[in-house]
């Protein structure tokens, strides 16, 4: 099965009008071969971005969607043309970044289907592909490992220096991170671009403000779980040692040092 960007290029060449549904992952809307809008289930759409920033409520958006669309929205003066354009641009670029790599789903084209926010702005397939490549390079430059993209965001307990300067997105991430939500979950809660949150998370990690996999050294494979009951029974009268018994083996000493360091960094 050809890649999604190849399918999009083919629809553009055929001057298609309609929607290419990529399973439940998202959809790409065309008008005469030009992309007018894109959605991706992983990230917020333009409606969520508008609502999250207080420009217009989600109930008002549903109402104008059914009655007049973007023309009605602009006539009511709830958002300016520039604000709407900015949100649509951000939503489409975000959706393209996360939707284009999707594999394993057989897309289906539905002729004539449109999106209520489409029709005013157009995007070409090569331009979207280039922007996705630029964004991937920017992420790699900020932090080379992609494991943070799908791991819970955990904020470090201490600053690595005396002071730090955060962008508004980075501040939102720090405030909302609960140690359980992954970056794209935070993006939906915040009503922010998924890519912007990924970039903020990687830059926070590079600044030493997040707990990463590198901060939690793996335990040696041969270390066994301590049996507390047996340890108490074996302890001599008058109290036992203040920690696990150390045999003098260098592996034991190294393990204790690493555990202490990890605990100090968490405190």
The whole-angstrom separation of Cα 226 and Cα 243 is 11
Residues of the chain with pLDDT > 70: what percent? Answer: 80
The whole-angstrom separation of Cα 15 and Cα 18 is 10
The whole-angstrom separation of Cα 48 and Cα 41 is 12
Give the pLDDT of residue 178. 93
Higher pLDDT, 131 or 225: 131
Residues of the chain with pLDDT > 90: what percent? Answer: 54
Residue 216: is its pLDDT beyond 70? no
Confidence class of residue 240 from pLDDT cuts 50, 70 and 90? very low
Give the pLDDT of residue 229. 35
DSSP H or E run through 26: strand 26-31
Sequence spans of domains, the chain: 4-140, 143-213, 217-266
Residue 142: is its pLDDT beyond 80? yes
The whole-angstrom separation of Cα 110 and Cα 9 is 16
Cβ 61 vs Cβ 89: under 8 Å: no
Give the pLDDT of residue 2. 82
Confidence class of residue 93 from pLDDT cuts 50, 70 and 90? very high
Our CA angle for 30, 31, 35, nearest 5°, is: 45
Tell me: the pLDDT tens digits for 120-133?
889 999 999 999 99
E strand map for 121-195: none
Higher pLDDT, 242 or 260: 260
Tell me: the pLDDT tens digits for 147-192?
999 999 999 988 887 788 899 999 999 999 999 999 999 999 999 9
Q: What is the mean pLDDT of residues 104-114?
A: 93
The whole-angstrom separation of Cα 190 and Cα 194 is 10
């Amino acid at each position: 099965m050809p890649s999604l960007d190849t399918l999009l290029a083919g629809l553009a060449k055929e001057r298609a009008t309609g929607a290419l549904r990529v399973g439940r992952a998202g959809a790409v809307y065309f008008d005469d071969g030009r992309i007018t809008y894109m959605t991706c289930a992983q990230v917020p759409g333009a409606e969520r971005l508008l609502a999250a920033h207080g420009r217009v409520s989600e109930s008002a958006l549903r109402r104008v969607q059914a009655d007049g669309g973007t023309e009605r929205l602009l006539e009511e003066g709830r958002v300016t043309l520039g604000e709407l354009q900015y949100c649509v641009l951000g939503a489409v670029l975000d959706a393209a970044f996360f939707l284009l790599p999707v594999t394993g789903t057989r897309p289906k084209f539905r002729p004539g289907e449109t999106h209520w926010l489409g029709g005013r702005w157009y995007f070409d397939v090569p331009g979207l592909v280039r922007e996705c490549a630029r964004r991937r390079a920017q992420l790699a430059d900020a932090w080379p490992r992609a494991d943070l993209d799908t791991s819970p965001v955990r904020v470090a307990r201490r600053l690595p220096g005396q002071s730090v300067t955060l962008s508004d997105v980075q501040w939102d991430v720090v405030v909302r991170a609960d140690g359980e939500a992954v970056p794209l979950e935070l993006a939906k809660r915040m009503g922010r671009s998924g890519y912007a949150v990924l970039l903020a998370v990687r830059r926070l990690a590079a600044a030493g403000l997040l707990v990463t996999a590198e901060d939690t050294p793996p335990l040696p494979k041969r270390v066994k779980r301590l049996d507390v009951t047996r340890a108490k029974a074996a302890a001599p009268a008058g109290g036992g040692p203040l920690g696990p018994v150390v045999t003098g083996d260098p592996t034991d000493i190294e393990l204790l040092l690493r555990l202490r360091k990890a605990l100090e960094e968490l405190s």
